[in-house]
Structure formats: C-alpha cells, structure tokens
C-alpha cells in the first residue's frame, strides 16, 4: 500500500500488508524516492522550476491557481507558455514515461501539453498534444528519417478530452510501442 508525505511529493512509503507475498516482513515500511528515477518533475505550484533536475522553465503570460492537486499552471489559450531550454535529457532515445494532468475547455483547437520535438529534417523527440479533433496525440521520433512506423510512431487517443474536466494522461514508450 503506497502512501506519500504530501500529494505532490515524489517521496513515499510502501507498507507491507498482511497476507502479501514479499521478501519483506509483514508490517514493514519501505521508504522510496521516486525522484531518483525521474529526469524532470514540474509541480507548477508557483513556478515552472524542475523539482528533480536542471530543466527549469520560463513562464510567459500565465498564472498559478487552484488545481486538481495543490496549484496548477493556468494558460490563457493564446500567448501563455512555458519554455524549457533544449536538452538531450528531454529527447529520450530509449524507454521513457511521460505524464501530466490537464484540463481543456475549448474545442476545435490544437494545444500542446508537452513538446520536445522537431520535424524540420527528420522526425525527432516527443510531442503530446490535444488535436483539433479534441483527441490526444502522441508522437515519438528517432531522428533517423520521416517514415511512419520506422522513424517515428504516432498514437492517437479515442476519447474526447475537450470537456472542461481534469484528465491524467500517461504514455510509456518501450521497444517502439
């Protein structure tokens, strides 16, 4: 049973329950620090600083208000953004997981949740966005060319997420899937 020191803390405790099959004795508590496995972590409580790495962001035309857990970054829909310097650590070449909470109010507009991506010459990096169709789209490119299925992968969502409700999206990428 995992518990956390606070809702947005990357540190927690696992308690071994009665009847559990584990190498640890029943009733033991195992402290873990999830941040050791994270490249970056942004809570967006009051700014866009990276809580575990060096990928701090610069805010433009945005505010911080009450969110799903603690505070949240609020974007105005036109000029708001967070810019993070280009870093190779944000363009994974192996296995990775990316996740975020978001709420989309308007329909029919494309909005990026995360982008460390370029398609200038080859498709490179990752992109997670809500398409104009109001469905999620995830793209991961290897910077080796422009052939779908060989050089890059696209995953399209099947649920309309432009419903003014908080959603949590997570994508795990492993072995080109």
List, for residues 134-154, the tens digit of each pLDDT value. Answer: 999 999 888 889 999 999 989
**Is residue 55 a contact partner of residue 85, using CB atoms and an 8 Å limit?**
yes
The answer to whether 113 and 129 have CB atoms below 8 angstroms apart is yes
> How many other CB atoms are there within 10 angstroms of residue 143's CB atom?
14
Query: Residue 173 in contact with residue 96, Cβ under 8 Å?
Result: yes
| Distance separating alpha carbons of residues 82 and 17, to the nearest angstrom | 42
pTM: 0.70
pLDDT tens profile 81-131? 888 888 877 777 677 888 888 889 889 999 999 888 888 888 888 899 999
The DSSP code for 33 is: E
């Amino acid at each position: 049973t995992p518990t956390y020191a606070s809702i947005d803390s990357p540190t927690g405790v696992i308690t071994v329950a009665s009847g559990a099959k584990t190498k640890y004795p029943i009733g033991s508590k195992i402290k873990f620090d999830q941040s050791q496995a994270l490249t970056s972590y942004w809570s967006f409580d009051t700014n866009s600083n990276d809580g575990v790495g060096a990928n701090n962001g610069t805010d433009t035309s945005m505010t911080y208000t009450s969110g799903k857990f603690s505070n949240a970054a609020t974007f105005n829909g036109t000029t708001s953004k967070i810019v993070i310097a280009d870093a190779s650590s944000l363009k994974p070449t192996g296995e990775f997981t990316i996740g975020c909470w978001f709420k989309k109010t308007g329909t029919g507009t494309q909005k990026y949740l995360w982008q460390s991506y370029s398609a200038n010459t080859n498709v490179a990096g990752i992109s997670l966005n809500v398409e104009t169709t109001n469905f999620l789209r995830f793209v991961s490119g290897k910077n080796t060319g422009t052939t779908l299925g060989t050089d890059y992968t696209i995953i399209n969502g099947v649920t309309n997420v432009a419903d003014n409700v908080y959603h949590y999206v997570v994508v795990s990428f492993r072995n080109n899937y």
